[in-house]
Amino acid sequence: MNGVVVLCQRELVRFLRQPTRLVGSLAQPLLFWLFMGSGFSFSFNAFSTEITYLQYFYPGIVLMLLLFAAIFSTITLIEDRTAGFLQGVLVAPISRLSMVLGKLLGGTFIALIQACIFLFFAPFAGIELALGRAINLLFLFFLVGLGFTGLGFIIAWVVDSTAGYHAIMSVVLIPLWLLSGALFPPEDSAAWLHWVIAFNPVSYGMTAIRYAFYEPLSSLAVNPDFLFALLIALIWTTCTTVGSVLIVSRRPGG
């Protein structure tokens, strides 16, 4: 556990010592939400006329923030490998599991901090946040953020350069967000696109977060769509976490 705590603390300290990273990671989703939400507000009708596009798009922007936080926290794995720090951790008297958990928890807590800050903009989207709803959202943010961080860890472990990581990010990670229902309702999309969204594991995390924003806790407990989305999100996060441990435990051949 000492290794987990130290590595997690290192990620948080490095993040807090880079204020431009915090400002950039919050400013970009905020600008996306304001510009795109205002631009599509008069031509978009989601679910009912009572929900504006700014309100619909807000949970999708929170998911985008969690994704970007995972990207920037796992890309440091490549930097640690280049600087020699990763090699030092691998030969240290700690288990590979401790190294992976420390890195994943550090990235997840960074995503959680940014998501909590962004929650202060919820009233501007017409979303009221009671204490119970906020606690439920924090749990979902941690779950989805851990899944994103685990996926980013796996990619960063097998990629040798930051340029290659950015290329994969543009081809894989960003489309996962775009095809999660963050920008438009899946049921209003084309038939083939609807099937793509259905097989996208990120879309279930998006569904769970969206229901948690809109519905009270009492209705979530009996909502089959929310419970199914929560189950898939839990399975996906478990797979990425276990995959991170397995890929680190595997020794290269040759």
- The per-residue pLDDT of the chain, averaged, comes to 81
Cα–Cα distance, 39 to 59 (Å, whole number): 17
Tens-place pLDDT, residues 158-180: 887 878 888 888 788 788 888 88
Q: Which residue has the higher pLDDT, 183 or 96?
A: 183
Q: Which residue has the higher pLDDT, 151 or 46?
A: 151
Assess contact for 10 and 77: CB atoms under 8 A. no
Residues 186-241 have pLDDT tens digits of 776 677 788 888 888 888 989 999 888 888 777 888 889 899 999 999 999 999 98
Q: What does residue 223 show for φ and ψ, rounded to 5 degrees? A: -90, 110
Long-range contacts, stretch 162-169, CB < 8 angstroms, 24+ apart: 162/75, 162/78, 162/79, 165/75, 165/78, 169/71
pLDDT band at residue 49 under the 50/70/90 scheme: low
| Helix 201-214 × helix 53-74 angle, to 10° | 130
Q: Is the pLDDT of residue 79 over 70?
A: yes
What confidence score (pLDDT) does residue 1 get?
Answer: 67
